[in-house]
Amino acid sequence: MDVSFDAHPSTYRHWKTRIEGVIAWLVLDVDETGGIVPGYELKLNSYDLGVDIELYDATQRLRFEHPEVRVVVLTSGKDKVFCAGANIRMLAASTHEWKVNFCKFTNETRNAMEDSAGQAYLAAVNGSCAGGGYELALACEHILLVDDNSSAVSLPEVPLLGVLPGTGGLTRVVDKRRVRKDLADVFATRPDGVKGKTALRWRLVDELAQPRRFEEATRARAAELAARSTRPRDARGVELTPLDRDITADGIRYEHVTAEYDQATSAVTITVRAPRTPAPAALSGLDASFWPLAVTRELDDLILRLRTNQPTLGTWILRTSGDAELLDGYEKLLAGHRHHWLADEILRYHKRVLKRLDVTSRSLIAVIEPDSCCAGMLAELAFAADRQYMLDGPPVGDEDSPARASITLTDANFGLLPMGNGISRLESRFYGHTDHVEWLRKETGRPLSPAEADELGLVTDIPDDIDWADEIRIAIEGRAALSPDACTGLEANLRFAGPETTETRIFGRLSAWQNWIFNRPNASGDEGALRRYGTGQKAIFDRKRV
């Protein structure tokens, strides 16, 4: 079954959205029978990928369709339950790659909630809040907990399931909320969690309100958060219309992006096209067809679909095509209006999609040819890749053509679209060599030849037109021969040079540990905690510490 990431508020099964002036309400009211795959019931407002796809859609629409919204209140539509987190029976029944993919997507959505351009998230926790439910609250700026002497926040994964809170819970508790590590240890080993005043004292929540005052307190806090926002009062939003795509057995085609599968080499060639028309003069009156927004949405959708639906296509060959000058016009428009809400949202969105690429467990190989448009923001695709091959010579099969491949660096390559580690892809590439980055900065704004790109360290190799086909074929076939697990580990280690941030810790350390634990018999063996959960039988652990 292919998973679609399309959603629209009119078809949500699990969320109710309501906009009241500057405040948007996202109310989680999960339909128990609405799991994305059969075999489990989503009890107690627990979620699966389908619930999160709707959440992601809702957050995107709030950003683009509702510039007037300054605060998003996340709360539950159920009595006494905020959210019980990821559905355990779903996790227990899922394949390893499904679990990992699901965690990745939920993490990306939580991170995106924190990357808010003037739309602050407020968690109005109106009932018990466990595991991923608390992690959802942790991704918000402010956590208001109902003080009814029974509602608690908890991270019960370790004691109940033998796994970790997989959506940044441990990291955010100490990194973001600055909870003391000993208290965090106590908290994360108690299946029943912590409620009321203790939760407040330990900094697990920011505020308490009694049930009768709860809505009033929520509104007061929302109003205060709204007052801090810089969102425009009278802007018109951009409606996120359905994506136009054509799916066949051999690939997916969007307007600006195409993907072609090659099952024989376990590879997919992804081509991203530069704009075909000049940029408009201003940011007013635009719709979803505006190239930077359209191309970002298509790339986002493609990455999600390939990750979920094509797990064996292990190598992604990244190509670009089109006119660098037209592209530059769009970049200048966005960069020149960085404080305009729409430009800001599009740049943030593009940044997040590139981050999705950074954390994708596929081998990424950039191919730069004469018809490529490896410039500015599209060059980031190449710098996100594990390797870059640039053709030094005429186009293959057209010896007489004067066309040559080039790379053009722009301001977009120096901090406009940072990675999860907080620095640009070029800074990560030349980590510890600030003089080199300074040198590159001086080379911005002109097309660099293959020889120059090679000298500047921007590419892995520059085969000529005689060797090109073989070199690329060998690179792809070589990749296909390696252990996919080892490649995942190798790439994840190499991609994130430099500083650690909350985000890299979540995606690096946490995912690595969770991946390991998900494979351990203590969690997923026949007598493991995930398998035994819900049977009434206790897990049997191998007591050796490794």
Partner 1 sequence: MTTSINYEDKIPNNVDLSSDRGLQRALEGWQPKFMNWWGEMGPALETHGVYLRTAVSVGRDGWAHFDHVNVPDYRWGIFLAEPKPDRRIAFGEHKGQPVWQQVPGEYRADLQRLIVIQGDTEPASVEQQKLLGLTAPSLYDLRNLFQVNVEEGRHLWAMVYLLHAYFGREGREEAEALLVRNSGSPDSPRILGAFNEETADWLAFYMFTYFTDRDGKYQLGTLKESAFDPLSRTCEFMLKEEAHHMFVGTTGVDRVVARSAQLIREHDTLDIAKHGGIPLDIIQKYINFHYTVSLDLFGSETSTNAANYFTAGLKGRWMEERRKDDHQLTEHGIPLQRPNADGTWTNDELSALLALNLDLRGEYITDCQSGIKRWNKILAEAEIGFTFALPHVGFNRQVGMHSGFHITPDGSIVDAGSWREAAGKWLPTSEDLAFVRSLMHPVYEPGKIASWVAPPTNGINGKPFDYEYVYFH
Strand order of the sheet with strand 447-448?
Answer: 374-375, 407-408, 447-448
Secondary structure of residue 268 in the 3-state scheme:
strand
Burial label, 232 (beta-carbon count in 10 A; 0-12, 13-18, 19+) = middle
Secondary structure of residue 468 in the 3-state scheme:
helix
Task: Tell the smallest beta-carbon distance from residue 545 to partner 1 (Å).
Answer: 17
Residues 303, 305: Cα–Cα separation, whole Å: 6
Beta bridge partners of 128: 81
Tell how strand 80-83 and strand 120-125 pair up.
unpaired
Task: Rule CB under 8 A: say whether 148 interacts with partner 1.
Answer: yes
Residues 424-483 that bind partner 1 (CB under 8 A): none
Report in angstroms the alpha-carbon separations of 57 from 131, 240, 291.
22, 10, 20
Phi, psi at 387, each rounded to 5°: -140, 155
CA atoms lying within 13 Å on the CB side of residue 480: 17
Stretches 163-171, 211-219, 379-387, 434-442: which one binds partner 1 (CB under 8 A)? 211-219
Among 34, 211, 251, 418, binds partner 1 (CB under 8 A): 211
98 or 533, CB closer to partner 1? Answer: 533
Strand order of the sheet with strand 127-130?
Answer: 80-83, 127-130, 152-154, 194-195
Task: Tell the smallest beta-carbon distance from residue 213 to partner 1 (Å).
Answer: 8
196 or 393, CB closer to partner 1? Answer: 196
Task: Tell the smallest beta-carbon distance from residue 316 to partner 1 (Å).
Answer: 42
Task: Tell the smallest beta-carbon distance from residue 531 to partner 1 (Å).
Answer: 13
197 or 446, CB closer to partner 1? Answer: 197
**Who's near 536: CB < 8 A, 6+ residues apart?**
none
Burial label, 276 (beta-carbon count in 10 A; 0-12, 13-18, 19+) = exposed
Beta bridge partners of 208: 145
Task: Tell the smallest beta-carbon distance from residue 96 to partner 1 (Å).
Answer: 24
35 or 156, CB closer to partner 1? Answer: 156
Residues 303-342 that bind partner 1 (CB under 8 A): none
Task: Rule CB under 8 A: say whether 201 interacts with partner 1.
Answer: no
151 or 504, CB closer to partner 1? Answer: 151
40 or 468, CB closer to partner 1? Answer: 40
Task: Tell the smallest beta-carbon distance from residue 192 to partner 1 (Å).
Answer: 5
Task: Tell the smallest beta-carbon distance from residue 197 to partner 1 (Å).
Answer: 9
Kindly tell me the number of DSSP H helices and DSSP E strands found in the chain: 21, 22
Task: Tell the smallest beta-carbon distance from residue 540 to partner 1 (Å).
Answer: 10
Task: Rule CB under 8 A: say whether 33 interacts with partner 1.
Answer: no
Residues 258, 316: Cα–Cα separation, whole Å: 12
Task: Tell the smallest beta-carbon distance from residue 542 to partner 1 (Å).
Answer: 17
Task: Tell the smallest beta-carbon distance from residue 189 to partner 1 (Å).
Answer: 9
Residues 99, 516: Cα–Cα separation, whole Å: 12
478 or 534, CB closer to partner 1? Answer: 534
- Residue count at the site for partner 1 (CB under 8 A)? 19
117 or 540, CB closer to partner 1? Answer: 540
210 or 230, CB closer to partner 1? Answer: 210
Site string for partner 1, 174-193 (x = CB under 8 A): ----------------xxx-
219 or 337, CB closer to partner 1? Answer: 219
Tell how strand 407-408 and strand 447-448 pair up.
antiparallel
148 or 411, CB closer to partner 1? Answer: 148
Among 9, 34, 159, 395, binds partner 1 (CB under 8 A): 159
Task: Tell the smallest beta-carbon distance from residue 11 to partner 1 (Å).
Answer: 23
Site string for partner 1, 507-546 (x = CB under 8 A): --------------------------xxxxxx--------
Beta bridge partners of 86: 47
* 83 and 45 Cβ atoms separated by less than 8 Å: yes
Strand order of the sheet with strand 15-20?
Answer: 15-20, 23-28, 71-76, 120-125, 142-146, 207-209
**Who's near 468: CB < 8 A, 6+ residues apart?**
391, 393, 396
CA atoms lying within 13 Å on the CB side of residue 506: 30
CA-based nearest residue to 161, from 542, 538, 507: 538
Task: Tell the smallest beta-carbon distance from residue 159 to partner 1 (Å).
Answer: 8
Beta bridge partners of 120: 71
Among 212, 339, 442, 545, binds partner 1 (CB under 8 A): 212
Stretches 146-154, 252-260, 296-304, 489-497: which one binds partner 1 (CB under 8 A)? 146-154
Signed CA dihedral, 369, 371, 376, 379: sign only:
negative
* 295 and 331 Cβ atoms separated by less than 8 Å: no
Task: Rule CB under 8 A: say whether 34 interacts with partner 1.
Answer: no
Task: Tell the smallest beta-carbon distance from residue 267 to partner 1 (Å).
Answer: 45
Task: Rule CB under 8 A: say whether 210 interacts with partner 1.
Answer: yes
Among 150, 241, 289, 519, binds partner 1 (CB under 8 A): 150
- Residue numbers at the binding site for partner 1 (CB under 8 A): 147-150, 159, 190-192, 198, 210-213, 533-538
